[in-house]
Amino acid sequence: MKTKLNNIFKIIIDNKKLFAAVLVAVLFIGFFGWQYLFTNGEESSYTTKAVEIGDLKSIVPGTGQVVVSSQIDIKPQASGVVVYVATTNGQYLKKWDLIAQLDISDAQKTVRDAEINLENAKNEYNKFIEPADELSILQAENDLSQAREKKINAESDLEKTYEDGYNTVSSAFLDLPGIISGLNDLLFLSTLSDNQWNIDYYYSSTVNSAGFNGLALRDLTYDNYQVARNSYDESFDTYKNISRYSSEDLIESIILKTYNTSKAISDSVKTSNNLIQFYQDELSKISQTPKTLSNQHLITLDGYTSKINSHLSSLLNIKNTISTSKEDIINAERDIVEKEKTLKNLIDGPDEFDLETKKLSLQQKENSLADAKEKLSDYYIVAPFNGIITGMDLRVGDSVSSGSVASLVSVDKFIETSLNEADISQIKLGQKVTITFDAIEDFEIEGEISEIDVLGTVNQGVVEYGVKISFDDQDSRIKPGMSASVDIVVESRENVLLIPNSAIKGNERMKMVQVLKDNEIVNTKVETGLTNDILTEIISGLNEGDLVITQTSSTVSTSLDKSSAPEPGSGGGGGNNDAMRMMRQIQ
């Protein structure tokens, strides 16, 4: 017996879907049989509703509060003097309405300058892209010829300068040997004393009065002469080995060496003169008479100074002229390259790089003009949105900069509400909203979802998301802070079959309604669509005008207790719901 039961149970498990369907059928037959056997004696009354065609909306309800945008400070974008005031405190302004105007004369001048610069850039660009005419080419050829002629002249001048330089050096070496020899005799002969050089005599004669100071001057005179002598010997050796036909580099070299030698000899003459002057001054201090020859030495040195200074001037002039002539040649060569390029460009037309450069220059001028015009608007202080102006104390003649000059309080209102995580998933921007106000009876307006928070906040363990609802109605009865009820339309149907929710029996897998036809109850399977708290959309199974039973009541007791015979579709633990639950358990 036990084995048979196990086999039966195994068959049921293997065919559970078939068994569930059979079981449901048996239960339905039993249920309706029970109705027939045990309720024949009852008199039932029904509440019915005709199937209608209408519109259906699925809504998410909520509560919120009326809020307005916070006020903002009005700050000018430019500095200047107020020339016009267009509004007063408490005045309602629309977006872009004028509040005040600043003096725009400087800005207008900037625009005019930018327009002139742009026009010049356009003219230059148009001229640049035009083919060169014969006159322009001829002028460019003449400019090139002049540049080449200028170089030839500069080269000729340099050649003549080298010739003059050689002559100047030659003239210097007519005097320099005599000067350097004369210095040697003046300092190192013993014409003032039999047993010492003149340079030592000039020093030793001042020992009692000058001491160490005289020795320092004597040594400086000696050193300067040695420097001058060495420089002279080197320069003279170079001079002896060149001629006027030597290379320009050699001639330029001897000019420089002769100039430096002349400077060294000039320094030697100067210190020699200082030594003799020192000698005479010191003897005068001790009432002694200097030797007469010292005066002759001073006269000789003055003659040397005059000759050396003349040669120094000539040599320096030649040296500078050579440098200037070389620069003139370099500049002439650069000028030739420029003129050759100009002529080539005129013949070939503009190249791509130059053309792009001109285009960029033109674009920069256009941008500058656009920027200047755009800045004109900064001198007009305007309302950035609809609102009430407040806190303004502007007068014509006032100077303003970047500080606040007024405040603007928004008159645009919206509803702030919060929805839980289950409802927020149905909410989208732009969805329509019906709004009512607790403080205003029989008043309803339309709005729409304008903002949804991306991040939620936890409030008493529930995640909530902020939602803003905008509306255009500016009814003066709507005040900031008022409480509002909102119905957010998340889905809607138009011209569909509708029945009350109370008429529907069954569950998600099978839904039925009882239709009253000719005083007979017909159980009809239906397919439903959108639903809300009151009505449900019927997709198939019913027609407009069908009477569906929404409620059943009995006036005569049956032979069974009501608790054991519940209505079909009720939640009393029997009927269809029990059958469905049993079927799900088997599955």
Q: pLDDT of 73-89, one tens digit each?
A: 888 888 888 988 989 88
- Tell me, what's the pLDDT at 541? 85
Question: Does the pLDDT value for residue 582 go beyond 50?
Answer: no
Instruction: Name which of 137-151, 461-475, 477-491, 560-574 the model is least confident about.
Output: 560-574
- pLDDT higher than 80, residue 128: no
Residue 568 has pLDDT above 70, yes or no: no
Of the two residues 32 and 165, the one the predictor is more confident about is 165
What is the per-residue pLDDT across 486-504, written as a single tens digit (0 to 9) for each? 989 888 888 889 999 888 9
Query: What average pLDDT does this structure show over 474-481?
Result: 80
What's the pLDDT at 557? 44
pLDDT at 63: 92
Query: Residue type at 348?
Result: D
Task: Give the model confidence (pLDDT) of 327-353 as tens digits.
Answer: 989 999 999 999 888 888 778 777 777
Would you state the pLDDT for residue 264? 95
For residue range 236-276, list pLDDT tens digits in order.
999 999 988 889 899 999 999 999 999 999 999 999 999 99
Q: Is the pLDDT of residue 206 over 90?
A: no
Position 162 scores a pLDDT of: 87
Do 96 and 383 touch, CB atoms closer than 8 A? yes
Q: How confident is the model at residue 91 (pLDDT cuts 50, 70, 90)?
A: confident
Identify the pLDDT of residue 578.
37
8-state DSSP, 84? E
How long, in residues, is the chain? 587
Evaluate if residue 9 carries a pLDDT over 70: no
Which element (helix H / strand E) includes 403?
Answer: none
pLDDT at position 274 is 93
118-135 average pLDDT score:
80
- Average the pLDDT over 190-195 and give the result: 88
280-331 tens-digit pLDDT: 988 888 888 899 999 999 999 999 999 999 999 999 999 999 999 889 899 9
Picking from 545, 562, 561, the residue whose alpha carbon sits closest to that of residue 553 is 562
Residue pair 279/292 in contact by the 8 Å Cβ criterion: no
Burial of 7 (0-12, 13-18, 19+ CB in 10 A): exposed
Q: Mean pLDDT across the stretch 407-436?
A: 85
Q: Is pLDDT at 134 greater than 60 in this prediction?
A: yes
pLDDT at 41 over 70: no
% of the chain residues with pLDDT over 70: 84
Tokens standing for residue 566: 């519940």
For the chain, the average pLDDT equals 82
Could you give the CA distance from residue 270 to residue 304 in angstroms, rounded to a whole number? 10
Flag whether pLDDT at 181 surpasses 60: yes
Residue 116 has pLDDT above 80, yes or no: yes
Look at residue 27 in the predicted model and tell me its pLDDT: 52
CB atoms within 10 A of CB 24: 17
């008199």: which residue's tokens?
43
Per-residue pLDDT at 306: 94
Q: What one-character-per-residue DSSP string does 530-546 give?
A: EE-SSEEEEEES--TT-
576 confidence band (pLDDT: 50, 70, 90): very low
Q: What is the pLDDT of residues 541-554, one digit of tens each?
A: 888 888 898 888 76
Q: What is the pLDDT of residue 15?
A: 59
Name the residue with higher pLDDT: 113 or 12.
113
Who contacts 542 (Cβ-Cβ below 8 Å, separation ≥6)?
A: 51, 497, 499, 513, 515, 524, 526, 548
pTM score: 0.40
Tokens for 66, please give them. Answer: 């009326």
Residue % of the chain over a pLDDT of 90: 26
Non-local CB neighbours of 446 within 8 Å, separated by 6+ positions: 432, 433, 434, 435, 471
**226: Cα within 13 Å, side-chain hemisphere:** 6
pLDDT surpasses 60 at 373: yes
Q: Say whether pLDDT at 405 is over 90.
A: no
Q: State the Cα–Cα distance between residues 228 and 182, nearest whole angstrom.
A: 13
Instruction: Give 436's contacts (C-beta < 8 A, 6+ positions apart).
Output: 443, 444, 484, 485
The domains of the chain, with CATH numbers, are: 2-56+495-586 (2.40.420.20), 163-321 (1.20.140)
Six-digit token string for 46: 């029904």
Do 114 and 372 meet the contact criterion of CB atoms below 8 Å apart? yes
What's the pLDDT band for 95 if we cut at 50, 70, 90? confident
Average pLDDT over residues 548-564: 57
Asked which of 128-137, 177-186, 394-403, 428-437 is least confident by mean pLDDT, the reply is 128-137
